[in-house]
């Protein structure tokens, strides 16, 4: 950073920018410093100051205005010798030039990733075929309003752990209150959204999936009354138990199905919003039991669009049914093509209808509703400013939102509810909530398993594919999916 100081002395002292910086015997008064600044630099400082204060207003944090004095020193007064290293020669100057460039780049990346957008890689098949494993997306944060970093001191190129060093990439304090800059529009039904995993607040680092709450639930079912102590005492299996702030939790990507204030019900995989069935996404997938007369070549599965991971387990043998079978996720188009194959020896059956697989352990864990992933509800999705009448029946659905996401002390004793020590039957929500699901319905860990997504967990909207790599193929056999690069994910917005 250069400063336009004029100095006719030749003191030989350290320089600031391209001019001698006052040091040693020469001391400039505050007014002298102001008089020596060029008009063009005052203009640049005025423009930067206007942008800076506009940003402070958007951020909603008056304390940030104090940083203006730092800008004033950089542009005008120069009390701090920011460019001291420019007067040196040799290794010092070379090293500091690199440090200066790297720091500048990291600061720029920090602001771009925080307020503009960032890249995100699809790690799982939950949104196939809309988004594919190996897609690298550019996620726009401005559309729904950029979220102010709640953990402001963090390394911008790592979500929660520094690679190679295996240590936290952030400092826990300070933690800022949730605040979001104005967006272009609200989240709509059918929008694909990237968000922080709601149940990622507590993590057993060696077993991130299933999450800590599912692990604890399973341990309780095995008769272990204190799952946390059990997990901590078996670090060789579970690793350390860590607590992560909202914006440092794992990133997930799903499709918005239910909006704040709506009522949702799932009946035989058909989703009803406010009593009306909504359309399925164009490329929605369900798992089918495919009876076959023997193994099917992997290349044939890949050409159909089935991932190697999904086909590798088959064919399994079901002695009771008397046939071998694959369990494969298929779109309607893929199913119609598969039914023509000579290796298929009988009608395809939905996995959920076959009951070969357990469909339980859905949201809310441990509730006595008898729900499964294909039959749930009906229940209300919380909306900011709306008041809920708490009952013993709906308590399991909303207790995590009230207690964990909105930070209240919620207790139920003798059929009565106490919020922050006060007995009440009503609660007014502070945030909007969303119901998110994957298009690969029978292989998606989504709201059916962990419930609502609070608005403060929303990261942004995927807008296009930067690069797409197929892990099942080689470089000479279609590894780079060129037809997907710069393709915009099909939002299937406003599903009705």
Give the global pTM. Answer: 0.85
**Beta strand residue intervals within 75-128, DSSP E:** 117-121
In this structure, the strands spanning 15-16 and 19-20 are: antiparallel
Element (H, E) at 96: helix 91-115
- What residues in the chain have per-residue pLDDT under 70? 1-26, 318-322, 355-360, 490-496
286-331 confidence digits (pLDDT tens)? 999 999 988 999 999 999 999 998 998 778 776 556 678 899 999 9
pLDDT at 92: 84
226-246 residues labelled b (16+ CB within 10 A) or e (exposed):
ebeebbeeeeeebeeeeebbb
Q: Residue 245 contacts by C-beta under 8 Å, 6 or more apart in sequence?
A: 150, 151, 170, 172, 175
pLDDT at 220: 93
Q: What is the DSSP letter of 146?
A: P
Tokens matching residue 182: 């104005």
Tokens matching residue 349: 């059956």
**C-alpha–C-alpha distance, residues 120 and 254, integer Å:** 13
Q: What are residue 289's DSSP bridge partners?
A: 327, 349
pLDDT at 264: 98
Burial class (CB in 10 A: 0-12, 13-18, 19+), 216: buried
Helices (H), 124-226: 212-221
Question: Cα torsion at 159, 164, 166, 170 (round to 10°)?
Answer: -40
**C-alpha–C-alpha distance, residues 282 and 302, integer Å:** 20
Question: Using alpha carbons only, what angle is made at residue 109 by residues 487 and 463, rounded to the nearest 5 degrees?
Answer: 20
- Contact indicator for 180, 148 with CB cutoff of 8 Å: yes
pLDDT at 232: 94
Q: What is the mean pLDDT of the chain?
A: 88
């Amino acid at each position: 950073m250069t400063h336009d100081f004029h100095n006719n002395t030749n003191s030989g002292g350290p320089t600031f920018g391209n001019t001698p910086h006052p040091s040693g015997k020469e001391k400039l008064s505050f007014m002298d410093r102001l008089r020596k600044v060029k008009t063009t630099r005052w203009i640049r400082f005025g423009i930067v100051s206007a942008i800076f204060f506009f940003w402070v207003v958007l951020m909603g944090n008056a304390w940030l205005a104090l940083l203006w004095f730092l800008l004033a020193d950089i542009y005008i007064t120069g009390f701090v010798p920011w460019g001291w290293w420019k007067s040196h020669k040799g290794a010092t100057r070379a090293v500091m030039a690199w440090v200066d460039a790297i720091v500048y780049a990291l600061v720029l990346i920090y602001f771009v990733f925080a307020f503009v957008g960032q890249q995100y890689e699809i790690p799982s098949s939950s949104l196939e075929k809309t988004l594919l494993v190996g897609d690298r997306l550019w996620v726009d944060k401005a559309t729904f309003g950029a979220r102010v970093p709640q953990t402001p001191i963090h390394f911008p190129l790592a979500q929660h752990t520094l690679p190679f060093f295996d240590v936290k990439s952030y400092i826990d304090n300070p933690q800022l209150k949730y605040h979001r800059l104005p967006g272009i529009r609200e989240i709509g039904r059918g929008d694909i959204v990237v968000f922080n995993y709601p149940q990622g607040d507590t993590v057993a680092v060696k077993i991130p999936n299933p999450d800590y709450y599912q692990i604890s639930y399973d341990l309780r079912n095995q008769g272990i009354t204190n799952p946390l102590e059990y997990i901590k005492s078996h670090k060789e299996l579970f690793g350390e138990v860590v607590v992560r702030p909202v914006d440092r939790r794992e990133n997930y990507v799903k499709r918005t199905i239910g909006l704040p204030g709506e009522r949702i019900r799932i009946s035989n995989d058909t989703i009803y919003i406010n009593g009306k069935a909504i359309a399925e996404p164009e490329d929605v997938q369900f798992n089918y039991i495919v009876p076959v007369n023997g193994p099917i070549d992997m290349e044939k599965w890949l050409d159909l669009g089935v991932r190697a991971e999904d086909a590798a387990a088959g064919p399994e043998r079901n002695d009771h049914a008397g046939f071998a079978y694959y369990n494969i996720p298929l779109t309607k188009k893929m199913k119609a093509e598969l039914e023509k194959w000579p290796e298929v020896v009988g009608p395809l059956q939905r996995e959920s209808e076959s009951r070969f697989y357990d469909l339980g352990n859905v949201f809310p864990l441990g509730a006595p509703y008898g729900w499964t992933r294909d039959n749930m509800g009906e229940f209300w999705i919380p909306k900011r400013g709306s008041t809920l009448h708490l009952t013993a029946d709906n308590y399991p659905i909303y207790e995590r939102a009230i207690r964990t996401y909105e930070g209240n002390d919620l207790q139920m004793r003798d059929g009565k509810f106490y919020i922050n020590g006060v007995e009440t039957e009503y609660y007014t929500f502070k945030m909007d909530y969303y119901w998110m699901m994957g298009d690969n319905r029978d292989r998606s860990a989504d709201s059916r398993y962990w419930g609502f997504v609070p608005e403060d967990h929303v990261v942004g909207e995927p807008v296009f594919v930067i690069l797409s790599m197929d892990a099942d193929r080689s470089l000479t056999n279609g590894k780079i999916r060129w037809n997907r690069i710069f393709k915009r994910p099909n939002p299937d917005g406003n599903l009705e």
